Amino acid sequence: MRPESPHRGTTRALSVAPMIDRTDRHFRFLMRRLTQHTLLYTEMVNMNAIVRGDRGHILDFDPEEGANALQIGGDAPTMLAEAAKIGVGWGYTEINLNVGCPSNRVQAGCFGAVLMRRPEQVARCVEAMRAAVTVPVTVKHRIGVDELDHYDHMRHFVDVVLAAGADRFTVHARKAWLNGLSPKENRNVPPLRYDDVYRLKRELPHVAIEINGGIKTLDQAAKQLEQVDAVMIGRAAVDPPMVFAQADQRIFGAERTPITRVELVHQMVDYAARFAGPTFKLTHITRDMLTLYAGISGARAWKRALAEGTSGVGASPQAILNALHATEQAQEQQLAAQQTYTR
Ligand SMILES: Cc1cc2nc3c(=O)[nH]c(=O)nc-3n(C[C@H](O)[C@H](O)[C@H](O)COP(=O)(O)O)c2cc1C
């Protein structure tokens, strides 16, 4: 048996999933305003891009984002180890290997979910990364792929990769069909199989297991934590992100008072001012804010004013404050209309 990992105790109960084109540095900055304790992931970055590409562009993040996990895609142990080392040198505090992405492009590169078919290769990758860095090396995977979709296949995968030193397994609780379903369909069509993840945890109580897939609220996350060590939320974190304003209190028991929408908007204006300029597209930052008022009074005014005011290259962060002003006016009007109606 391999010795206990020194990182086992570092698993955080809640994380926001890696999502390409979504969990970029601006999104993570916004999320960090909402929650100090939740683990945030980057988008998946190809190992080649890290080793050979424009590292500053790919890896830079704001110190105020705090500790984040870098998710890497690849299947070559030596290059993954190199990429992991670069990532840790850049300040990332966890390295995660993607064994869950079913896109054709990723399959053509022989990594992502297709690696579920090659547990020994994943083990070699994890072993190489483990030897290269001292931060946790974790794996995000599916329950299975194609015909390899029985619990025993996943258990075998986990056993082999665990022996190589993986510190945590994040299970997207559905299989992926590698041919015939698009990535989007692969996030919705195969049924969720939470029981397989619970069984994995029961059978391997000493191994950190995180569950992912279809979890939308902090109440649902808290319920999942009765069965597993951690919960990863993806799409529901984007739409709407305010769900996470309660996370530190609700999930981590912290005493922090949740940030208000107005405070958040002001902080994001200051943040946007650091990037603003004639060639900068403010929507890179504000697209994650469009649903800030979702479900409450002023939602439509906010969305419209923010979208209109921030479109185009070189828009000023002042547009965000203008949208806030328009929203507050709309809220006052709605309140006045309600009072008239009930009088
Ligand atoms: C737009 C988008 C991009 C995604 N990109 C990644 C990615 O880069 N790496 C990864 O492991 N999973 C990726 N996923 C999958 C999510 O991490 C997550 O496993 C999936 O959405 C299921 O969780 P949810 O039901 O909470 O959204 C992506 C999902 C979405 C919606």
- Looking at residue 109, its pLDDT comes to 74
Least confident of 87-96, 130-139, 183-192, 201-210: 183-192
Residue whose Cα lies nearest atom 30 of ligand 1: it is 19
Residue nearest to atom 26 of ligand 1 (CA): 234
Which of 44-48, 110-114, 208-212, 254-258 bottoms out in mean pLDDT, i.e. has the lowest?
A: 110-114
pLDDT number for residue 7? 40
Q: Is the pLDDT of residue 6 over 60?
A: no
Mean pLDDT is lowest, of 44-48, 107-111, 140-144, 313-317, for 107-111
Helix/strand/coil (H/E/C) assignment for every residue in the chain: CCCCCCCHHHCCCEEECCCCCCCCHHHHHHHHHHCCCCEEEEEEEEHHHHHHCCHHHHHCCCHHHCCEEEEEECCCHHHHHHHHHHHHHHCCCEEEEEECCCCHHHHHCCCHHHHHHCHHHHHHHHHHHHHHCCCCEEEEEECCECCECCHHHHHHHHHHHHHCCCCEEEEECCCECCCCCCHHHHCCCCCCCHHHHHHHHHHCCCCCEEEECCCCCHHHHHHHCCCCCEEEECHHHHCCHHHHHHHHHHCCCCCCCCCCHHHHHHHHHHHHHHHCCCCCECHHHHHHHCCCCCCCCCHHHHHHHHHHHHCCECCCCHHHHHHHHHHHHHHHHHHHHHHHHHC
| Known catalytic residue at 101 | yes
Q: What average pLDDT does the segment 118-145 reach?
A: 97
> Mean of the pLDDT values across residues 43-65?
95
Query: Which atom of ligand 1 is nearest the CA belonging to 96?
Result: 11
Q: Which of 15, 20, 72, 288 to mutate to test the pocket of ligand 1 (most atoms within 8 A of CB)?
A: 20
Query: What confidence tens digit (pLDDT) does each residue in 316-327 have?
Result: 999 999 999 999
Q: What is the pLDDT of residues 287-315, one digit of tens each?
A: 999 999 999 999 999 999 999 999 989 89
**Domain residue ranges in the chain:** 8-250, 261-342
Ligand 1 is surrounded, with C-beta below 6 A, by 17-22, 43-44, 71, 98, 100-101, 140, 172, 187, 212-215, 233-236
The residue-averaged pLDDT of 97-105 equals: 86
What per-residue confidence (pLDDT) applies to 242?
93
Q: Of 56-65, 83-92, 177-186, 285-294, where does mean pLDDT reach its minimum?
A: 177-186
How much distance in Å is there from the Cα of 84 to the middle of ligand 1? 21
Question: What would the pLDDT profile of 225-272 be if each residue is shown by its tens digit?
Answer: 999 999 999 999 998 899 999 999 999 999 988 999 999 999 999 999
Question: In this predicted structure, what is the pLDDT of residue 66?
Answer: 87
**This prediction's pTM:** 0.94
* Protein residue with least CA distance to atom 19, ligand 1: 172
Ligand 1 midpoint to CA 213 (Å)? 9
Query: How far does the centroid of ligand 1 lie from the alpha carbon of residue 327, in Å?
Result: 31
Residue 277 to residue 269: CA distance in whole angstroms? 14
Q: Which atom of ligand 1 is nearest to the CA of 172?
A: 19
pLDDT at residue 127, as a whole number:
98
Mean pLDDT of the chain: 93
Q: Which of 23, 105, 235, 239 to mutate to test the pocket of ligand 1 (most atoms within 8 A of CB)?
A: 235
Second CATH level (architecture) for the domain 261-342: Up-down Bundle (1.20)
The pLDDT score that the predictor gives to residue 104 is 77
| Residue 55 CA, ligand 1 centroid: distance in Å | 23
- pLDDT band (50, 70, 90) for residue 343: low
CATH hierarchy code of domain 8-250: 3.20.20.70
Mean pLDDT of 278-295: 95
pLDDT for 168 = 98
30, 101, 143, 171: the active-site residue: 101
Give the model's confidence band at 9: pLDDT under 50 very low, under 70 low, under 90 confident, else very high. Answer: very low
**Would you say residue 4 has pLDDT above 70?**
no
Ligand 1 atom nearest residue 235's Cα: 27
Dist. CA 44 → ligand 1 center (Å): 9
- What pLDDT, on a 0 to 100 scale, did the predictor assign at position 100? 87
pLDDT at residue number 327: 97
Question: What are 310's two structure tokens?
Answer: 């921030």
What's the 234 CA to ligand 1 centre distance in angstroms? 6
